[in-house]
Structure 1
Amino acid sequence: MKIETLKKRLEKNRPMTTITIRMPEDVIEDLKRIAPLLGFSGYQPLARAYIGQGLRTDLERLEGDTVFALIASLKRHGVSEEVIQEALSEVSER
């Protein structure tokens, strides 16, 4: 994830939107029970945290898969390992 995107995600007052989602009642009850034990003010912030955590994991995995696919493609096209490593170093320094 790019640094600018990550910084925006860490802002406290990001714009929010309302959604409706159907969930099993027992899941909501468990969220309500667990939320205060984990330091959340209610079950909705906990649910947002779980969704955000899963989303970040998947984004990292999918974006990482893209990078690995690009590297493999560059190698197939004859780009040397040295050039690829140099480019990766430049990108990671940003």
Structure 2
Amino acid sequence: MKVEALKKRLDKNRPMTTITIRMPEDVIEDLKRIAPLLGFSGYQPLVRTYIGQGLRADFERLEGDTVSALIASLKRHGVSDEVIQEALGEVTQS
């Protein structure tokens, strides 16, 4: 994820929207019980954290798969490892 996009994600004053989601009652009770033990003010911030963690993991996995496929394609087209590593270094420095 780009640095600017990450900074926006970490902004505590981001606009929020209300959603409705159906969940089993026992799951909500478990969330309410564990949230304060993990330092959360309530179960909703904990749920947002769980969703955010899963979303970041999926983005990393999916973006990583794309990068891996691109690298493999470049190698098949005769691009040297040195050039690929240099390009990756340029991209990850931002």
* Counterpart for residue 69 of structure 1: 69
Q: CA deviation at 1:27?
A: 0.4
Q: Which amino acid aligns with 1:92?
A: T
C-alpha RMSD of matched pairs (Å): 0.7
> Which structure has more RCO (C-alpha within 8 Å, separation ≥ 6)?
2
Q: Percent identity?
A: 86
Q: Which amino acid aligns with 2:56?
A: R
Correspondences of 1:1-94 after superposition (within 5 Å): 1-94=1-94
Deviation at 1:44, TM superposition (A): 0.5
CA drift at 1:68 = 0.5
Structure-2 separation of matches of 1:93 and 1:9: 19
TM-score scaled by length of structure 1: 0.96
Task: Provide structure 2 residue ranges, at least 5 long, that are not aligned to the other structure.
Answer: none
1:31 alignment partner AA: L
Aligned-partner Cα distance in 2 for 1:30–1:21: 16
Q: Distance in 2 between matches of 1:93 and 1:76?
A: 26
User: How many Å separate the matches in 1 of 2:41 and 2:93?
Assistant: 38
Q: How far 1:12 sits from its partner (Å)? A: 0.6
Aligned residues: 94
Please report how far the alpha carbon of residue 10 of structure 1 lies from its aligned counterpart in structure 2 after TM superposition: 0.5
TM-score (norm 2): 0.96
Q: Which residue identity does 1:13 align to in structure 2?
A: N
